[in-house]
Amino acid sequence: MTTYDDRERAFEAKFAHDAEMQFRAEARRNKLVGLWAAELLGKAEDEAQAYARSVVEHDLHEPGIEDVIAKLVADLGDKATPEAIRAKMAEMMPVAKAQLMAETGL
């Protein structure tokens, strides 16, 4: 085995790890935004957790965040604008990444 093969394998492993961490961060962000939306809707703790789960699951339907934003806009009505939802999603992404880093010990 050559050094080139080792470097290629290491690069592939890093790429896979980075892609998994990005997926997990986006799912965590969606959960946090779901909890925020549940609070706006006045849901109790169990209902809020279930609602946040539904937001995470909704993101699996289509690539990107537009499907999540559409769901939240429909659910929240006049409680939040699409711009406010986008801002909350942007605000929650670094929080989600920090939580994951703390959990994984990185």
pLDDT of residue 18: 75
Yes or no: say if 59 and 65 are a contact pair by the CB < 8 Å rule.
yes
Splitting the chain (106 residues) into consecutive groups of 10 residues, what average pLDDT does each group show? 78 82 92 96 94 92 89 94 96 95 80
Burial class (CB in 10 A: 0-12, 13-18, 19+), 89: buried
In the chain, where are the structural domains located?
Answer: 3-104
Count Cβ atoms below 10 Å from residue 24 Cβ, excluding itself.
16
